[in-house]
Structure 1
Amino acid sequence: MLRVQAAEIGSAMRQPTPPNTVPRAITPSLMNFCSSIAPGSPTFIPSVPMRKSGASFCFDNVAEKVRQKGGEITYGWAIWHRPNLYFEAEHHAVWRNDLGNLIDVSPQLGGRKRMLFLADAAAVYDPFAPRQNIMAADGDSPRAIEIAELGNRRHALLMRCRVPGTAAIELYEPDQAELSEIDRQLHALIPA
């Protein structure tokens, strides 16, 4: 059995120099994707990581920011997009300061300075019931559809192997083999 932290698994959709998956604009197809997840409209917000904050630990990072500076946690979804390939929603939390501004206080892959956030009051974080990323094809090409299907299978596998109440994932040999095969297929479909 292999036991790792969720952040160590990474994503097959990410390369060593990650592509910028922050959407460039809010398009009708992006709005359709977002409306399938939560009511409301997504908003571009600044990403200003706190010192000593951990990547992939947004819920802890925001709780610490609230403890230090006040304000409140806002739950929702980080929205990512690879044009003509896929949309992805990742359960996320950001800080709402005392002026009502939303700020992402967690480090982002590639040092991104902004992100697209879809607030969702119903998406409260529960460490014993983490929420799976949601992927959908951008368009109806067989390639886009296959990427979304593989991505959703990958996320479901990682959720199934997650140790409740922790960020640890336990991958037994069959799980490791399944993850490797999914990653191999994704790497063949997604350009670097």
Structure 2
Amino acid sequence: MKNPPNTVPAEITLDLMHFCRRIADTVPVFVTSVPLRSSGASFCFDNVERKIAKSGGSIAYGWAIWHIPNLYYEAEHHAVWRNKLGSLIDVSPQLGGRRRLLFLPDEKAVYDSWKPRSNIMLPASDTPLAIEMARLGGARQALFARCRIPGTAEMRFYEQEQLELADLNQRIEQLMILAGVVV
């Protein structure tokens, strides 16, 4: 996908709150993203631990919430830094250099590298496109779970898994083009 869409929700709607309530009994909050130098995308738990070692504070576990209207809602296991004043700051780089994300705090979502949590994706409507998008997203998460190297954040894709991932990504991109999300 050349230009991935901005999936940070523009606002907290009633439908978005219903999605979040399925995951945690907390209220989502917009969090400013100020990535650490040399921080890795998709390594939020390590990034936050490095920030705590340098500046104090604590880790806040939860979920990054993504949404494309009429297509899907998605929750990705995530962590942000809680500074000494209690403010939440995302210290991990975001796709496209985005400066904020929607974070759903969830104290129960503690990170365990031996039992990683898959993304949660649900259709945002009852249209065939939305239902298929959620199905493909679930299939991609299942593939990631199969390919994860236990105890690490790394994944190993052999040829068959590479082909499967390429097919899923192509189908997702085609669906997003059909939905008018990307061109």
Q: TM over 0.5, yes or no?
A: yes
Distance apart, 1:172 and its partner CA = 2.8
| Pairing 1:75–2:61 present | yes
2:9 pairs, out of 23, 26, 30, with 23
| Pairing 1:125–2:111 present | yes
Q: How far does the alpha carbon of each residue in 1:148-172 deviate from its partner, in whole angstroms, 9 at most, with x for none?
A: 1110110111111100112221223
Residue equivalent to 1:48: 34
Unaligned runs of 5+ in 2: none
Partner Cα distance (2:174, 2:141) in 1: 18
Distance apart, 1:187 and its partner CA = 1.6
Amino acid at match of 1:28: L
Residue equivalent to 2:81: 95
| Pairing 1:37–2:17 present | no
Partner Cα distance (1:174, 1:18) in 2: 25
% identity of equivalent residues: 60
Could you say what the CA RMSD is over the residues aligned between the two structures, in angstroms?
1.1
Residue equivalent to 2:43: 57
> Alignment partner of 2:163: what SS?
helix
Amino acid at match of 1:39: D
Distance apart, 1:52 and its partner CA = 1.5
Unaligned runs of 5+ in 1: 1-14
| Pairing 1:169–2:169 present | no
> Alignment partner of 2:156: what SS?
strand
Partner Cα distance (1:52, 1:161) in 2: 26
Give the TM-score, by structure 2 length.
0.93
Q: How far does the alpha carbon of each residue in 1:130-150 deviate from its partner, in whole angstroms, 9 at most, with x for none?
A: 110111101110110100111
Partner Cα distance (2:47, 2:131) in 1: 34
> Alignment partner of 2:155: what SS?
strand
The farther-off stretch of 15-24 and 140-149 is 15-24
Partner Cα distance (2:78, 2:151) in 1: 17
Partner Cα distance (1:102, 1:154) in 2: 30
| Pairing 1:185–2:168 present | no
- Runs of 4+ in structure 1 over 4 Å off: none
Partner Cα distance (2:66, 2:150) in 1: 26
